[in-house]
Chain A
Amino acid sequence: MLNRADVWTLYRRELRSAFRERTIVVNSILMPIFLYPVLLWVMFTAQTYIQGLNEGFTSRIALVDPVPADHASVLDSLRGREGVRLRGDPEEETPTGPPDILIESEALALLRSGAVDAVVGFRPPEGAGSTLPGNFRVQVRFDGTESRSERARDRVESVLAGYRDTWVQREAERLGMGVEDRVRFLVDVESVSTSREMGTMILGQMLSFFLIIMVALGCFVPSVDTTAGERERSTWETLMTVAASRASVVTAKYLYVATLGIAAGVLNVTAVFLSVGAVLRPLLQGSGEEITFSIPLAAVPVMLAGAVALALFFSAAMMLLASFARSFKDGQALVQPVYWLVFLPLLLGQQTDRTLTPAIASVPVANVSMMIRDAINGVFLWPLIAWTLVVTLATVALALTGARFALRFEDFLLGSFDGSFWRFVRDRISRRRRTDHTTEAGR
């Protein structure tokens, strides 16, 4: 029944015509290579750009009270802080002399209109704070709808925090407290993760998700094109009349769709892997973080196995559904629900500490995603990996059985069938009873 030479000939023909079809080349080859690198690049460029813009803004501060007389240096610290300018201060030279003090209502109006970024007032202390002689309270008003206003608030507050520290230190020295007494102790944190571990964490989250999307995308157009598309072009019937057995024809098509799915997945992983470092570099520059992107060698076969299993699953499911359509467009609509499955792993969460569990390993698609993430992170739970592959291949077998069942019906096989899935099912059920397989259906 299944002739290997036939399958090979048919398979090559499918591939050859695929590479001449623009839609397939775009979806199965170009998108996997460029989509995510480009999107990542656009995203991170925009982010650094916006960050740069934000940092570049000068925060315009309006004072509504004079600085308390004992604390004149607050004013100098404010003026000395880079990126802060008091309203009324001259732009060019370093300002001296008293600053402009605005009327409160006027200052708030300016804040609302966006002409100043924060309004700062010095108030007498309240409650417990009032027992300290010379103490004061600072009121910083900002506009929560403007990011530059929030930044201005942060800048003012950091200046004031610095001032508080020096004041407290002065007081401590006056009280005769030693450093140990004044500071008590320090608290800080340190990550022991290597740059490589950070890299695999990021890669694990990205690749496990991208690979699935891309395998599905790679299968999408070919599966529709090789079934519904053939029907639309009326080449389906031509194919069904060739000497090769139907099993050979269908097998060749199936292998071809799976091949493109695998190719899309592999190309995508390679492209993302190659570009992620370059894309993230400008973002990390200056923050002192270092991230090295690498994948453990043992993860490569696991990823490949995952890609193959997924491709087999997606192509079986998609081809089965697309076979019910008469036109490319209808086919796409029918296959769409399978494509939505790719979001399963996202729905199940992307927590860094999760690894494959027997439960997750039993959920198709999500299990492969988790398996790949584990592998990239260097975690290999072999029994669960095996279980994942078994579950995936079982769903493949299920879909193939469905396809075999559908192919038994002549109207379906020959494409005379009119494309309504429900009509097909209904006809099958009613016809079963009459045990009549030959009448033409769905005219």
Chain B
Amino acid sequence: MSDSVPPAPSAATASAVPTPSGAPPTIEVRDLRKTFYDESRGEVHAVDGISFACDRGEVFGLLGANGAGKTTTLRMLSTVLRPSGGSAWVMGHEVAAEPEAVRRSLGFYSASTALYPRLTARETLEFFARINRYPPERVPERVEELVERFGIGEYQHARVEKLSSGMKQKVSIARTIAHDPPVLIFDEPTVGLDVLNALEMVRVVRRLRDEGKTVLFSSHIMSEVEKLCDRIGIIHRGRLLALGTLEELRERTGRHYLEDVFVHYVTREEGVDVAELGATGELEAGA
């Protein structure tokens, strides 16, 4: 644990990253950085000073190409990686100082978070509910609820290793929200899914939003982001190039399709040098 705990953010102070509603943010990221030391390239800035904040009941999308820094950002938020600079809060808990409290308040789903093959679907849910400190006496009830909600009933007693990928995905999402966390982080959740399963994913995310959860979502698939996200952050080479609702981004760039918006920002970034980027800070300010 770090000995210097950054002060908890509060909406009352002049926060650099306000939320649309002005309410205290569920996720707040301030100048977050991650530097890998690489023996041949020296320091690699995978995430290079990103700031944003998310509201309750909001779906926030991080859009970026492969290697843009999306996954690293989300992994820092989920406390798998430690930030090299800046800080981030989830439900008011700082990621480096209170990693366990942070993890208790979030569910993290990604292509690399697999399931235990030798547990049954039901056991998986029970395990993750318990280990995330869901009140033990209410675990059976919660598992029941999840089984019903995701339609796992048929195969709840089958081992995960025997399930098809669609079934696995359902169990995986169910385990992510097993402890009913207020914040959900989905890292490229639709990668490798077929159309129907990807649609199912979209449905789940919408429903979670409707329940008042914050969903932080990363993707490189434009249509998905377009369809789902209340606000979009475009990330490239570890920097947040733009942030706003789809409408705002369209307005600013004068392009209609998100794909064009994305290309607009990225080519602009490639064309200008770093000093100039600082001047375009207004893009990051959001609404």
Contacts and interface: CB of A to CB of B under 8 A. Distances in A.
Check whether chain A touches chain B (CB < 8 angstroms): yes
A418 B162 CA distance: 8
Contacts of A443: 162, 164
Interface string B161-178: 010100000000000000
Nearest to B161: A418
A418 B164 CA distance: 12
Nearest to A327: B117
Contacts of A418: 162
Contacts, number: 3
Interface string A416-443: 0010000000000000000000000001
Nearest to B117: A327
B215 to A, nearest CB: 32
Nearest to B164: A443
A443 B162 CA distance: 7
Interface in A386-418: 418
Contacts of B164: 443
Interface string B91-109: 0000000000000000000
A60 to B, nearest CB: 59
Interface in B96-140: none
A228 to B, nearest CB: 15
A443 B166 CA distance: 14
B255 to A, nearest CB: 40
A418 B161 CA distance: 9
A419 to B, nearest CB: 9
Interface string B128-165: 00000000000000000000000000000000001010
B178 to A, nearest CB: 27
Contacts of B162: 418, 443
Nearest to A419: B161
B165 to A, nearest CB: 12
Interface in B23-40: none
A86 B164 CA distance: 83
Interface in B160-207: 162, 164
Nearest to A418: B162
B41 to A, nearest CB: 24
A331 to B, nearest CB: 16
A208 B164 CA distance: 50
A333 to B, nearest CB: 14
A306 to B, nearest CB: 42
Nearest to A442: B162
B158 to A, nearest CB: 11
Interface in A46-77: none
A442 to B, nearest CB: 9
B115 to A, nearest CB: 15
B154 to A, nearest CB: 15
A443 B164 CA distance: 8
A248 to B, nearest CB: 32
A122 B164 CA distance: 88
Interface in A9-25: none
A418 B158 CA distance: 14
A350 B162 CA distance: 49
Interface string B239-274: 000000000000000000000000000000000000
A418 B159 CA distance: 13
A114 to B, nearest CB: 52
A443 B167 CA distance: 13
Interface in A356-398: none
Which 3 A-B pairs give the minimum distances between C-beta atoms?
A: A418-B162, A443-B164, A443-B162
3 contacts: A418-B162, A443-B162, A443-B164
